[in-house]
Structure 1
Amino acid sequence: MKKPTVDEVLQQGIYGPLETKPDERRKYLGTIRERIIVALYKRQVAETEVYPQIEQSMREYPEAHLFLNGNMSYEELSKYVKLAAKKKIEHKIVTNKEHDTEIGLILAMGHAIDKEEIFITKKQQILKKPQGKKGLFAKIFKW
C-alpha cells in the first residue's frame, strides 16, 4: 500500500475522506448500485399504500438498510419508517441539499449483491392462502 502524499492528506483534511463513486452515491441516497435490493421513485413513495414488494424484501433481507429521500415530506415517508421499525430494519433519512434525486426509497445491503433489476414498476399482490374455507373436494371427502 502506498503512503499518502502531503497534498493528499491536506485535501482529505479540507474536503473529507475520498469517496468511491460520488455521483452514484448522490443518485442512490448515499449507497452504490451494486448493494441495492429494491428502489422506488418519489412518485411511488408518495402513493397512499405501501408497496408489498418492499415488505417482502424486508422479510427476505432482515439485515438490510432502508434509505429514504429527505427532500420528501415526512407524511409520505412515515408509512415506510413504521414498516422498517416493525420489521426491525435500520433506516436513514438522507437529505442532500446540492443534489435532488428522483429516487425516493432504497433498500440495500452493506455489501454487494448485484441484482439486475432493482426498480419496482408496479404493485404486485402477495398471494395469501385463504384460511377457514374448504374447497369442494375437501368438503366431499371431509378433510
Structure 2
Amino acid sequence: MTEDLNKRVEQAAQGITPQTKPDERRRYLGSLRERVYVRMNNTEVKDSKLTALFLQHIADFKKYTILINGNITDDGFLGEVEANCSKYSIPFTLVNNETAKTGPEDSAVLVVAKYAINRPRIEIAQVFAPEIPKSELTAPEKKEGFFHRLFHGDK
C-alpha cells in the first residue's frame, strides 16, 4: 500500500496523472461508455440503411459531440457526416490516435455527451429501432380452455 502511495506521489510530482478506465477509453475513441449516446461500429458504417438512419437523425445531436474514427477509409459516409456537422453546427472530432482501430467491431462513429448520460442501449439499431406495425401490437384472440368448453359448451 505504501509503495503504491509513494509511486502515486512521485507521478503527481512529475505531472503524470493516471488515466481512468483505459480499456474503456480505447474502445470508445477516448471517451467513456457512460457518455455515449449513439455508436456505430466499422461494419455498420458500410450498411446503407444504418448510415441513412444516422444521417436522418443527425440534427438531433446538436447538444452532443461526434467522434469519428480517422483511420477508416470510407470517405463517402464520413464526408457526409462532416458536412452535416458543419451544416447543423455540431462539434466533431477526427480521432487518429491509438484508440482509432479498424477492426469490424471497433467504433467508427460515436455521439458523445460532455457528461455521463448512462444509456442502456447505444448501438444505432437499438437507439433508432424501426416502428412496430399496429397489426403486431394488437393482442391475439384468446383461446378458450378445456374447462370453459366443457362447462359452457362449444360455440
What TM-score, normalized to structure 1? 0.67
Counterpart residue number, 2:31? 31
Cα contact 1:52–1:124 (8 A) shared by 2? no
Cα deviation per residue 1:84-123 (whole Å; 9 max; x = unaligned)? 1111111011123376261100001000111111002388
Deviation at 1:13, TM superposition (A): 7.0
Aligned length: 121
Closer/same/farther in 2, CA of residues 20 and 98 from structure 1, 3 Å limit: closer
Give SS of 1:51's match.
helix
Cα contact 2:68–2:109 (8 A) shared by 1? yes
Could you tell me how far apart the structure 2 residues matched to 1:71 and 1:14 are? 32
Closer/same/farther in 2, CA of residues 115 and 75 from structure 1, 3 Å limit: same
Counterpart residue number, 1:90? 91
Taking only the aligned residue pairs, the percentage that are identical comes to 24
Residues 88-127 of structure 1: matches in 2 within 5 Å? 88-97=89-98, 100=101, 102-121=106-125
Closer/same/farther in 2, CA of residues 69 and 15 from structure 1, 3 Å limit: farther
Cα contact 2:29–2:100 (8 A) shared by 1? no
Closer/same/farther in 2, CA of residues 17 and 55 from structure 1, 3 Å limit: farther
Cα contact 2:39–2:107 (8 A) shared by 1? yes
User: Which protein is bigger by CA-based radius of gyration?
Assistant: 2
Give SS of 2:34's match.
helix
Could you tell me how far apart the structure 1 residues matched to 2:14 and 2:74 are? 33
Could you tell me how far apart the structure 1 residues matched to 2:36 and 2:61 are? 11
Provide the aligned C-alpha RMSD in A.
3.1
- Could you list the runs of 5+ residues in structure 1 that have no partner in the other structure? 127-143
Greater helix content: 2
Residues 1-143 of structure 1: matches in 2 within 5 Å? 7-8=7-8, 10-11=10-11, 16-47=16-47, 50-53=51-54, 55-56=56-57, 58-73=58-73, 75-76=75-76, 77-97=78-98, 100=101, 102-121=106-125
Cα deviation per residue 1:5-25 (whole Å; 9 max; x = unaligned)? 774354357684322111101
Closer/same/farther in 2, CA of residues 69 and 120 from structure 1, 3 Å limit: same
- Could you list the runs of 5+ residues in structure 2 that have no partner in the other structure? 132-155
Cα deviation per residue 1:45-101 (whole Å; 9 max; x = unaligned)? 234573324542x43341200001111126142111111111111101112337626
What TM-score, normalized to structure 2? 0.63
AA matched with 2:87: K
Give SS of 1:63's match.
coil
